[in-house]
Amino acid sequence: LLSAGIALPLFFALGLAGLAVGLGLHFSSGTIRELELDYTGAPRSNHDCARCTNASATSGPCLCTLRFELAEPFPGPVCLYYQLSNYYQNHRRYGVSRDDLQLSGDPWGLRVANSLFNDTFTLHRLVNGSFMPVPLDSRGISWWTDSNVKFRNPELVNGSLATAFWGTAKPPNWPCAAYLLDAGNPNNTGFVNEDFIVWMRTAALPTFRKLYRRVHQGNFSAGLPHGTYRLDINYSYPVLPFKGTKKVILSTVSWMGGKNPFLGIAYLVFGSACILTGFVMLAVHIKYQQQNQMDED
Amino acid sequence: MADQKVSTSCLNGKKQQSDFTWEVRANDRAYHMQFKKRVSFCLTKRKYADNAIKTGKYNALTFLPLNLYEQFHRMANLYFLFVILLQTFPEISTLPWFTLLLPLGCLLIIRGLRDLIDDIARHKSDWIINCRPCEILSGKSFSWKKWRDICVGDIVCLRKDSFVPADLLLLSSSEPSSLCYVETADIDGETNLKFRQALLVTHEELMSVESMAAFDGKVTCEEPNSRMHSFIGMLEWKGEKYSLDSEKILLRGCRIRNTEICYGLVIYAGFDSKIMRNCGKIRLKKTKLDRMMDKLVILVFLVLMIASFFLAVACGIWAEKFRRDHSYLSTFYAKTSPIKQAFFTFWGFMILLSIIIPMSMYITLEFIYLVNSFFIDWDVEMYYPAKDTPAKARSTSLNDQLGQIEYIFSDKTGTLTQNIMTFKKCCINGIIYGPGTGRKRRLLDESLSWNPYADKNLEFYNPLLLEAVRRDDDPAVREFLRLLAICHTVMVEEKDSQLVYQAASPDEEALVMAARNLGYVFLSRTQDTITISELGVKRTYKVLAMLDFNSVRKRMSILVRDPNGKIRLYTKGADMVILTRLHENGANEKITEKALDSFAEETLRTLCLASKEVNERDYTEWSKKHHKASIMLENRAEELDKVYEEIEKDLKLLGATAIEDKLQDGVPETIQLLKKGNIKVWVLTGDKQETAMNIGFACRLLSDDMLILEEEEISEMLSAYWVSNNNLSSSGEPLCSDSFVQKPLDTFRRGNTALIITGDFLDKILCIGEVVKKKKENFWKRMLCCKAEVQQEQESLLEKAFMNLATSCQAVICCRVTPKQKSLIVQLVKKHKSAITLAIGDGANDVNMIKTADIGVGISGQEGMQAVQCSDYALAQFRFLQRLLLVHGRWSYLRICKFLRYFFYKTFSGLMSQIWFAFYNGFTAQPLYEGWFLALYNVFYTAYPVLSMGLLEQDVSAKKSLQFPELYRMGQRDEFFNYRVFCLTLLHGTATSLGSFYIALWAFEDKVGSKVVGDYESFAVTVATSALLSVIIEIILDIKFWTVLSFLTVAGSLLLFCVFSYLTQNFQAFKEAPSIFRFPDASKNALTDPYVLLIILLCVVANTIPSLTFRLVRVIMGKSTIHQIRMKDMRLERDMVELRAHFQRGSMQRRSSYAFSHKEGYADLITRGASLRGRDSLGLSTTPVPVFRSSSSPRLEAHKTRVEFLA
């Protein structure tokens, strides 16, 4: 089945295809604008958020701000992510403690969600000397399946979610009870709160990003123009004890998602490796053929 | 009293067998009912079993518990049960409960169903057998009942062609002398009739039903045992005792033939019968791969345990860190110490990684073995139409070893040869008559017209000889043929008005048949006469003495008084023996000797015939001596030999005969092919050296350009070794056992060498081996203490040296070996060469060897079925061996190896990612994959393509396999699967798992897709999909022989993956049971993201490229089989020329061999007259002597055996 006649062209074809895909990915990744803002506020980092590192849910929110410049415009839609590192959301017990039965509408004490990431961000743009808020859309940041199927609030009791959650304890690290998340918006409160859903879709690795908001409304439907921006952070999630970092990322989105240099480079490497192997094989093939011919003579 | 006896015999264990505690009283059911025997604790069973047999293992109630109990006897199943139980602890339950339960359940159900089907078949056959009808005496008359109603002590009536329902004591029969003929085809497969004979007293007295109803004899005999051919007992009746032996017993399973009606007393019924006792446990043979596989599974298990241990240690370290720093996790660590945590995690990892142990491998393998056995059964090329026998794989678990055979031990008679002797040539009075050519039909018609007894299948036509015979003017020709017709021990029987000869050896039959076809027809014999028809004239000779053949005398003579009153001695025997006993050395002899040489050249078996006239006075004198010798008690045989010697002298040579020991079809070609496949063929035969050598040449095992080492040369070499070894040990050098053989061996390694030894010589070597075995207990001590003490080990080294010598020879022929020696030789080769051996044979004397060898092959031939019944494979012809080994064996080996390699690969590559993932989740034994993927991976996603490969894979076609037997060497060298291959597989699997895991990991690390933002579920789906696809691509590359099945299975696997992913991940299922179906829409979301698809593609390509490159390198470098074949194809032409050159025969002289079977003839039986029946129907003038009524010899014999036994 396998012969040099088939395999060698296959190598070259695979190599070329790999190179093509790699180049495509590389360029499409290159067109993406991405800005990473570290706001961990490590001691001696001179960061505005450094003063908030001792904050906790109980001590009340601590506000810090971050100014940054966008040298180029970010074409929309622009996504705002937060990123945590050295954070073990994929810890087995963490996963085990997530009670899927409960999240689909049976309140019975929340254990996992205890650690819900509760830093909040607002974005402002400097327009004519004053900071104008950039509208951040919190809808549609989770998977449709999650927000429509997987996570369900319990049946309302007497038309009130609060009564439905009656008897359940507030997760100790939460500033408020589950039914008070985005209170007033019945489609985004309790278990169906999208921030909550995003958090509950546990990350695979200790360093992970989660989508926070999207910028695609109002004046910013075309994206973020270049200029000066200010990020207001409601800092309440401690990461320094476990040497974690917190980041906010602004990124444009293409067909393949965000900025992913790895995959493009990997394709390029494999493509060239294929072609190289192909040439080596070809050389070996020719050499052995000659030798065989000599043997036969 | 009997009870007591039973209990004591039980206590005594071994003594039990020789105790005569089995009492049977005729027509007394109540007596037998009262005895019980203890089975265990307080359970008792009736001592005398009834005749219903139950071979089924289970009934409706016991099936489930018993079957499960049996299944959990397997270590693997038990281990998985243990893991499943572990899973019930929430602390360590790392996998969902169904992940392991589902595959294990599947396995248990499949195996259970198989057992159930087997058992139902057994129940069915039991029922059919138990319901066979038979006539039992009840009250005063016989009535039709079923087999299961028979009890010990009953009297049953059997008619012609009915089966014997239990072990019976023959009481009487309708035949004269109370003979009863039985066919034992179901017991040993022999179809010739055997006779049984009742006691005179029962035969005479029990003639009517009334007398039988009144019969109250008591039989005392041994407890039921499995010795088919021995029975010792005693009948007590009317105050007298009669001894009983196996000649009076009808065994269950025999068939009554040629006997109108006979009556028997049931001695052993049902499970006590000898045939049922013989259905012992089959000794399980395990193949080399099997043993290796078990070791590998244990190895994998150990590796997993060690990995779990280290991961658990890491977990402990991380637990401390988590507890201290990671506040969001601290609740999990609040109550448990890191050590406790590590302990739990160890078990957690054990559960998680248990998936890597290939649980379903065994059952898949069993299925593959089974189907491959069916392929052997179904192979039309191995079907023998002449006998309507297909090949049969009786053992279904050894197929792969058929591809690794290095030594074949073959019986000769009936295996290499057809055991059909044909009269080919003769030399009468110096004139050689060969087989005629052409015009056979006409000759046949012609000969039939004057000789009504001529056999229609005669093969010897020589018009010249026929003419000479019919002219009847040459006394030499007359005497020659007369001798052939008279001097033998053949029995004659009439069947359908045809004479049927039964001879102790086929050689004799061939000679008598030849005489018959030439007009000298042996018609009948009685105790002391022989009647022949000489060219239509009946003449009766009075037999004065029969001087039987034995292996020392190598001749047989008969002393007869012809109708004219003259006494003549006719002798036939080996040429060396006869030629030295001739009266004169005439020209006739020289010509005959030359003829003998030319016959031998053609590998024919030769005999010399001679005769002389004895005058009356000499005879009377000799007769006295003979009588004196024959009644001697001591040294009778030697004395008789001496007496015989006196009269067998001054003979006149009549001529010589040449008989062809017909080889089976295709034997030389098969041996040639096997030799090319680097398989060494050893012939082990009970025959004489000359015969064996003859056959060796005939089947091209030996050739003229071979150096043939016989005993002298061998002993010389071995003694040379002895000396050199002594020198070595005295000089204190470390012993190099090979050095001595090496030197001489080098000299003839280039040429061909063959070894011919006899059993006696072998004994000399093996005997010494025995001594060493006794000393073996000290062996290790000595090894440890001081290496200098080599002296005592020399004996075993001698054995080893001999084996080295023998195994380096191209051909080995061992003649005159006993069945025990045959198996010893096999054992020796197994021990010293650790090679895979195959033994092939057809007779009862090969059973030992067949059982000893790694693979036993039985020829379903003429001698009987014992060999087949002990064998692993049954073939109709020796030549089918080439196809069995070179095609089926090689394919099976290839299939199993590729199966194993791939199975391990897919398990490692698919499931090892779990370990890598542990490094990224703080060693918490978090499963990487979803539970359902794990549960279904081995059962549905990857099982079928590898199964189809195991069933149908072939690297080259059957035709090419036979064309290039050299390919067989790969199996002998374990090339397809060994520890190296396993390690490579392990590495390959690890690399694949690393590839799919790390590519996905780096792509996921901190980057985002359009939908997927580095979440666990998407990551799991991505790694799982790329691992699965990589594994499937690998098998696509691996399968060399594509069939519809392989295509369907590959496509089916992908389809099943999609279907099951959908079924387990749709949100309907999630709504029903969220804790079981945890990944709602995960695949759908992840696999619609182009970014994830690109990751998967990259993984698959990256995993495939190295494997593809490796394969390509093999192709280019010419290491692959196909390439090698191509090269061979080109070289073939040149080889053909060389081969032709080889076939020029040297002019080596070979001694002729003489034709005689190894066994002694029937002479004793004939002179006793014991087996002769009346021949009145033939209408001959002679009247048979009524032997049985008058003679007491059978009883005497029986008595003798009993005396010997008791002594």
Is the pLDDT at B1198 greater than 60, yes or no?
no
Is the predicted pLDDT of residue B1141 greater than 60, yes or no? no
Q: Do A149 and B1118 touch (CB under 8 A)?
A: no
Range of lowest pLDDT (A88-97, B101-110, B793-802): B793-802
pLDDT of residue B307: 94
* ipTM over 0.90 threshold: yes
Q: Is B580 annotated as a binding residue?
A: no
What is the reported pLDDT for B735? Answer: 40
Query: Does residue B1100 share a domain with residue B1058?
Result: yes
pLDDT in tens, B1026-1044: 999 999 999 999 998 999 9
Residue B838 corresponds to which tokens in the numbers above?
């195959």
B852 and B916 both lie in a single domain: no
Q: Tens digit of pLDDT for each residue in A125-157?
A: 998 888 889 998 888 888 888 888 788 777 777
Q: Which residues of B touch A7 (CB under 8 A)?
A: 1108, 1111-1112, 1115
Per-residue pLDDT, B1127? 66
Q: What are phi and psi of B256, to 5 degrees?
A: -75, 130
Within a domain: B268: yes
For residue B743, the model assigns a pLDDT of 46
In a domain, B321, yes or no: no
Residue of A nearest to B1068 (CA): A149
* Chain A residues with beta carbon closer than 8 angstroms to that of B332: 91, 93-94, 97
pLDDT of residue A166: 64
Average of per-residue pLDDT across A230-246: 87
Partners of residue A85 in chain B, C-beta under 8 Å: 1006
Q: For the segment B1087-1097, what is each residue's pLDDT rounded down to a tens digit? A: 988 889 999 99
For residues A187-191, give the mean pLDDT.
77
Q: For A83, which residue in chain B has the nearest alpha carbon?
A: B1006
Within 8 A of B94 by CB-CB distance, chain A residues are 92
Question: Closest-CA residue in chain A for B1102?
Answer: A270
**Burial level of B271, CB count in 10 A (0-12/13-18/19+)?**
middle
Over pLDDT 90: what percentage of chain A?
17
Residues of B in contact with A204 (CB under 8 A): 920, 1004, 1014-1016, 1018-1020
More confident residue, B718 or B16: B718
Residue B1034 included in any domain: yes
Segment A229-235 mean pLDDT: 90
Per residue in B136-163, pLDDT (tens digit) is: 988 888 899 999 889 898 999 998 888 8
Quickly tell me which residue has 């067109």 as its tokens: A31
Q: What percent of chain B has pLDDT over 70?
A: 81
Is the pLDDT at B4 greater than 60, yes or no?
no
Within-domain flag for B834 = yes
pLDDT surpasses 50 at B1184: no
B1073 vs B1021 pLDDT, higher one:
B1021
Model pLDDT, residue B1134:
54
Q: Is residue B656 part of a domain?
A: yes
Same domain, B254 and B223: yes
Last residue of a domain, one of B875, B910, B944: B875
The confidence score (pLDDT) of residue B1181 equals 35
Q: How far apart are the first and last CA of chain B?
A: 25
pLDDT higher than 50, residue B729: no
A269 or A114, which is more confident: A269
Cα maximum dimension of chain B: 126
On the question of pLDDT at B789 being above 60, the answer is: no
Same-domain pairing of B593 and B696:
no
Maximum C-alpha span of chain A = 98
Flag if B1113 and A284 touch (Cβ within 8 Å): yes
Instruction: Tokens for A244, please give them.
Output: 């974690």
pLDDT, one tens digit per residue, over B20-66 is 788 888 888 888 888 887 776 667 778 888 888 887 888 888 899 98
Q: B322-378, pLDDT tens digit by residue?
A: 888 887 777 777 778 888 889 999 999 999 998 888 888 888 888 999 999 999 999
- Active-site amino acid positions of B: 411
Range of the domain at B981: 358-373+887-1116
Which residues in chain A have Cβ-Cβ distances shorter than 8 Å to B328?
87, 94, 114-115, 173
Query: And the tokens for B1130?
Result: 């080109």
B565 is in an annotated binding site: no
Question: CB of A257 within 8 A of CB of B1008?
Answer: yes
Binned at pLDDT 50, 70 and 90, residue B641 comes out as confident
Give the distance from CA A78 to its chain's centroid: 13
Nearest CA in chain B to A279: B1109
pLDDT of residue B304: 92
Q: Are residues B692 and B706 in the same domain?
A: yes
Report the pLDDT value the prediction gives residue B362, as an integer from 0 to 100: 84
Q: Which two tokens stand for residue B334?
A: 């609040």
Q: Are B892 and B818 in a shared domain?
A: no
- What number of other Cβ atoms are within 10 A of residue B750's Cβ? 7
Beta-bridge partner residues of B1167: none
CA of B1109: which chain A residue's CA is closest? Answer: A277
Q: What residues of chain A, 32 to 61, have a C-beta less than 8 Å from chain B?
A: none
Q: Identify which of B480, B453, B460, B459 has the alpha carbon closest to the alpha carbon of residue B469.
A: B480
The token pair at B1200 is 């003798």
The residue behind tokens 């034992």 is B184
Which of residues B611 and B226 earns the better pLDDT score?
B611
| Token duo for residue B828 | 């020796």
| A92, A100, A242: residue with CB nearest B1074 | A100
Last residue of a domain, one of B829, B852, B875: B875
- Please answer yes or no on whether A204 and B1102 come within 8 Å at the CB atom: no
The answer to the question of whether B549 is labelled as a binding residue is yes
Q: Which residue has the tokens 């599974």?
A: B297
Nearest to residue B900, comparing CAs of B937, B854, B856, B953? B953
Q: Tell me the residue type at B147.
A: W
Say which CATH number the domain at B460 has.
Answer: 3.40.1110.10
Q: What is the average per-residue pLDDT within B852-858?
A: 90
Residue A181 to chain B, least CA–CA distance (Å): 20
Asked, for residue B1180, whether it belongs to a domain, the answer is no
- Interface touch B1010/A255, C-beta < 8 Å: yes
The answer to whether A108 contacts chain B (CB < 8 Å) is: no
Query: Does residue B586 sit in the same domain as residue B693?
Result: no
Q: Where are chain A's structural domains? A: 1-32+260-297, 33-253
Of A206, A257, A270, the CB nearest to B1008: A257
Residue B245, helix vs strand vs coil: strand
pLDDT, position B786:
46
The number of angstroms, rounded, from the C-alpha of B251 to the middle of its chain's C-alpha atoms is 25
Cα separation, B721 vs B941, in Å, equals 62
On whether any CB of chain B is under 8 Å from the CB of A152, the answer is no
Q: Which of A11, A97, A209 sits opposite B1008 (nearest CB)?
A: A209
The pLDDT of A20-36, averaged and rounded, is 90
Greater confidence (B306 vs B455) lies with: B306
Per-residue pLDDT at B435: 74
Taking all residues of chain B, what is their mean pLDDT, rounded to a whole number? 80
Question: Same structural domain for residues B678 and B606?
Answer: no
Q: Is the peptide bond before A77 cis (omega within 30 degrees of 0)?
A: yes
Q: What mean pLDDT is predicted for residues B391-420?
A: 86
Percentage, residues of chain B above pLDDT 90: 22
Tell me if A88 and B1012 make a contact (CB, 8 A cut-off): no
Amino acid present at B487: C
Task: Read off the pLDDT of each residue in B691-712 and give the average, rounded to a whole number.
Answer: 81
**Same domain? B396 vs B495:** no
First-to-last C-alpha distance (Å) of chain A: 27
Query: Under an 8 A CB cutoff, do A207 and B1005 touch?
Result: yes
pLDDT at B730 over 50: no
How many domains, chain B? 4
pLDDT at A297 over 70: no
Asked if B1118 lies within 8 A of A288 by C-beta distance, the reply is yes
Residue B18 has pLDDT above 70, yes or no: no
Q: How confident is the model at residue B1183 (pLDDT cuts 50, 70, 90)?
A: very low
Residue B1015: CB partners within 8 Å, gap ≥ 6? Answer: A201, A202, A203, A204, A208
Residues B825 and B687 in one domain: yes
Annotated binding residue B605: yes
CATH number at residue B241: 2.70.150.10
- Whether A90 has its CB under 8 Å from any CB of chain B: the answer is yes
Asked if the structure places residue B63 within a domain, the reply is: no
B1174 band by pLDDT with thresholds 50, 70 and 90? very low
Residue B256 lies in a domain: yes
pLDDT in tens, A64-114: 888 899 998 998 788 899 999 998 888 887 766 655 556 655 554 445 556
Across B184-198, B813-827, B907-921, least confident range: B184-198
Whether residue B142 contacts residue B136, with contact meaning beta carbons closer than 8 Å, is answered with yes
Q: Are residues B1080 and B957 both part of a single domain? A: yes
Is A205 in contact with B1113 (Cβ distance < 8 A)? Answer: no
| Min Cα–Cα distance to chain A from B1093, Å | 10
Label residue B1179 by pLDDT band (50, 70, 90): very low
pTM of the model: 0.81
Strands (E), B1083-1205: 1153-1154
pLDDT of B311 above 90: yes
Does residue B782 have a known ligand-binding role? no
Closest approach of A200 to chain B, Cα-based (Å): 10
Taking contacts as CB-CB distances below 8 angstroms, the residues of chain A near B922 are 88, 91, 206
Please state, in angstroms and rounded to a whole number, the distance separating the CA atoms of residues B595 and B432. 7
State residue B567's pLDDT score. 92
Dist CA B839 CA B405 (whole Å): 10
The answer to whether B842 is annotated as binding is yes
Size of interface A-B (CB pairs under 8 A): 209
A204 to chain B, any CB pair closer than 8 A? The answer is yes
Q: What pairing do the DSSP bridges indicate for beta strands B605-614 and B1153-1154?
A: parallel
Is the pLDDT confidence value at B527 over 90?
Answer: no
Q: Among B318-322, B458-462, B575-579, B1145-1149, which stretch is predicted with the lowest mean pLDDT?
A: B1145-1149
Instruction: Report CB contact under 8 Å: B1015, A260.
Output: no
Question: What is residue B724's predicted lDDT score, i.e. its pLDDT?
Answer: 65
pLDDT at B1149: 40
pLDDT at B517 > cutoff 50: yes
pLDDT bracket for residue B795 (50, 70, 90): low
* B689 and B578 assigned to the same domain: no
Q: Which of A84-98, B497-511, B723-737, B887-901 bottoms out in mean pLDDT, i.e. has the lowest? A: B723-737
